[in-house]
Each structure stands twice: as structure tokens, then as C-alpha cells.
Structure 1
């Protein structure tokens, strides 16, 4: 059980595996008014940057669960680097279906709602770990504008136009699921650029060092086509944000 290698190659230098900058993560933590001792469950926690920096800056405690052995080890190293290894723990495992042993104050899935088969299933799963009155964090893509055709949708890594919603529709969807949206922090084009463009350098450096690897052809194709595809399609059409929800 692990994440395919291409993901860890593509994002080998990333601390945040989504189109957030460190500044936006700080803004989110401050906006949530996190109190010392807040208990956080972070599903698909990646390299642990959210939990580790919030433990340092706000005194939270918590657990992260991620399917990647590489990212889990990076998260544990980050916790040690920031001196918060006694506050946070990282578990290598499949976050799908994971429920905390005891209710938490914040239950999060930031950018991986596939663990619940989509937004609705992930909201339901996180709700099983959340105490009454707690905060739920969902990171999710949305369309910045109407998508003109199937080609554009697929270039934005969607199966079709219906895979994502426009921002107002996504907010209404959370309401339909019984939650109020009480905060949101959205990626912008600069944070998208930093997320995507850093991948291209990671891919090129890996390719230069591993020309005979079995993944070399796949990496070369992605590096050849990815930048223009991002500039032509994703940059104008694909949004992403973290939404804080509270049950009604």
C-alpha cells in the first residue's frame, strides 16, 4: 500500500501537496482561531506541513494519516525539525474509512476527497470523527469559470465538466450536506503557479539523474506537455480552496 512513484517524484520538493503557499496556510490557521490543545485529524496529510506548523504556531495536537511512505517519513522529519514531535503523530495507512478513536476538534481532508468517493462521502467520513460543534476542513477543486468542452475538462484532470462545480455551487453543495461554510481560503494564480511550476523542476532534475529508469518515458512526456497544458487550460479554469464547515 503506497502512492505511485510518479507522485512522489513530481512533488519531491513540496512541503504542501496542493496549490497553497506557506503564507496561505498561515492565513488559514489564523482565520480558524485555533486554541492551544485543539485536537486535529488530518486525512491524506501528505508531508505534514499543516499539522506541524499549526502545532508550532498554535499549540494544536493531532494525527495525520497518509498512504505515501515517502511523505509520511517527511512529515515525521518535519515534526522533529520544528520540535513538535510530542504534539503530532503521523500514520502510514489508507485514509479511506479512517475514523479517530476519540472525537476531535478539527477533522480535515485538504485536497483528497477521493478518500470518501467525493465531497459527500468525505464529509460523512470526517463527521464520524468530529465532536459536536467542531470544525471540518475540506480542500477541493472548483471551476473558476464555465468549462467550454470536454477537452478542457480533461486537460484540467477531470473526467468531465460535472466532476467539479463552480464556486457558488460548491458552497451550496456544502449547505445541502447540512453544513455552514464559516471560512474559506482560496488559491490564487500565483499559488497555483508555485505549485505547478515547482513540479516541472522536480521532474527535470529527476529525469537528468535517472535517464534509464522505467518511469523516464512517462516523466519526459509529462515534462514536455505539462507546462503548456497548464498555461492553456488549468490556469484559467481550475480553482482550489480550503473550506471550513460547521454542522447545522
Structure 2
């Protein structure tokens, strides 16, 4: 199975592809999309869970999502239609780093998609190019909760320098010209719920489709991921979602 298919199945029961509860997502959106009307852009939107929640909460907002997974985008379109939001959202099958727009956005999001830009700093720079003066950026990225052991690095396929700690993450944000005005640090409970949902949904799909040619591969992928989490990076990898504004006028 390709990684996109595995991820899509694994997120069946946790459509926000990050270790964040629905309540925390609602709070972040409430702070990020304060004006009654506005335009939001999600760079690496997946199935557009953040955007659709924003549009549902803000009837006068419009949204644009960009992602490389065509199946995820099709599911986003289906969900938008079911919610009656299809006329307020545009979805583009495109590399997030290559997206351009004629008009800026009041809110730009990039949650768990900094790999598309090569890290947090280039993500901030790219997202900032799409932001209207006075607009807000909602970005989510991993950080080291503690010094990573080799087992954690091996499980994640990561290098020590791929992330810093929480203090270093906030220092980087400030150094790049942004001021955090709100945020959410995912708890151990949120991480555990997310990982159990991820591996559980994938395992259940495999057990429900024993005759499918990918059934064994899906079950193996779930088992491997569970082992990497429990014996590798659990308690080591953190996740923070930050609401940012430019420190100075742009």
C-alpha cells in the first residue's frame, strides 16, 4: 500500500491528521478566524478538516485548500457537499510550495505539513507570502519533548536536528518575525488517543477486508507503526499548534 492510502484509512476515525482533540481544534479556529468575514488558505489541507470546520463556524468565510493527494481532495469535496459548503471552498491538487493566488488571505493554515516546505522556518516564510496585512497564521509542527534516543530517531526516520525543543521552536518563530498570540501543546493523552485511533482504524480495515489484496500489508503497517510509537518515540515527540501574527507590519 502507498503511504497516502495508509494514512487515509488510518485517519478514518480521527479526520484531523494531528494529535489534537476536536475541542482544541474548535478553540484554535475560534481564535484564528475572529472576523465575521474572511478568506482562509490551508497549505497541505488533506481532507480539509480544518477548513470545513472554519466554514461551518463562520458562515461568511471562504476557503481554499491545497494538497497533493487527489483522493483526499475528492473526499473533502464530498464532505463539503454533504455539509452544504461546496460553494465556499476551492480545492487544488497541487504542491503546496507551488501554490499562488491573486489575493492574500486573512488566515493561512499549515498543520503537520512543514515537510512540504523543508521545515518550520521555510513554512513560515511561504505561508507569510499569502497572508494579508494583519492576518493570522496557524501552524502545527513537532518538537522534542525530551532528548531523542536512537530508538526514537530510528522509529521516526528522523535526525536529531530535524526538530528542536518547545523553547527552541518558539525562539525560531520569534526570530523569523512572528509573535505567538495563542496556541495548543498536545498532551500525552491526545498523542495516545491519536496513535491508538491511527493504528486501530488501519487494523480494523484490514480485519474487515480479509480478501483484499492489501489487507495483510495494512495490518503489517499498523503493527509496525504501533511498535515504533510504543517502543520508539512515545513521550519523546511533541506537537504544538501556534497562532501567529507578524511582529511588525508587512
Q: Does TM, normalized by the shorter one, top 0.5?
A: yes
Q: 1:25-54: per-residue Cα shift (whole Å, max 9, x none)? A: 111012335222121111111111211111
Q: Does structure 2 retain, via aligned residues, the 8 Å contact 1:113–1:140? A: yes
Q: How many aligned residue pairs are there?
A: 245
Question: What is the distance in 2 between the residues matched to 1:171 and 1:180?
Answer: 9
**Higher mean Cα deviation, 30-39 or 44-53?**
30-39
Question: What is the distance in 2 between the residues matched to 1:167 and 1:173?
Answer: 10
Inter-CA distance 231–151: structure 2 relative to 1 (3 Å threshold): closer
SS in 2 for 1:136: strand
In structure 1, what is the equivalent of residue 174 of structure 2? 175
Question: What is the distance in 1 between the residues matched to 2:102 and 2:63?
Answer: 12
Q: Which runs of 5+ in 1 are unaligned?
A: none
SS in 2 for 1:236: coil
In structure 2, what is the equivalent of residue 201 of structure 1? 200
**Cα deviation, residue 196, structure 1:** 1.3
In structure 1, what is the equivalent of residue 129 of structure 2? 128
Q: 1:190-216: per-residue Cα shift (whole Å, max 9, x none)? A: 221222111222222222244465544
Q: Does structure 2 retain, via aligned residues, the 8 Å contact 1:99–1:128? A: no
SS in 2 for 1:96: helix
In structure 1, what is the equivalent of residue 56 of structure 2? 56
Question: What is the distance in 1 between the residues matched to 2:12 and 2:63?
Answer: 24
**Cα deviation, residue 8, structure 1:** 2.0
Inter-CA distance 219–3: structure 2 relative to 1 (3 Å threshold): closer
Q: Which runs of 5+ in 2 are unaligned?
A: none
In structure 1, what is the equivalent of residue 88 of structure 2? 87
In structure 2, what is the equivalent of residue 97 of structure 1? 98
Q: TM-score, normalised by structure 1?
A: 0.89
Q: Does structure 1 retain, via aligned residues, the 8 Å contact 2:33–2:107? A: no
Q: Does structure 2 retain, via aligned residues, the 8 Å contact 1:41–1:100? A: no
**Higher mean Cα deviation, 5-14 or 101-110?**
5-14
Q: 1:152-202: per-residue Cα shift (whole Å, max 9, x none)? A: 2222x1421111110010000011111111211121122212221112222
In structure 1, what is the equivalent of residue 42 of structure 2? 42
Q: Does structure 2 retain, via aligned residues, the 8 Å contact 1:97–1:116? A: no
Q: TM-score, normalised by structure 2?
A: 0.89
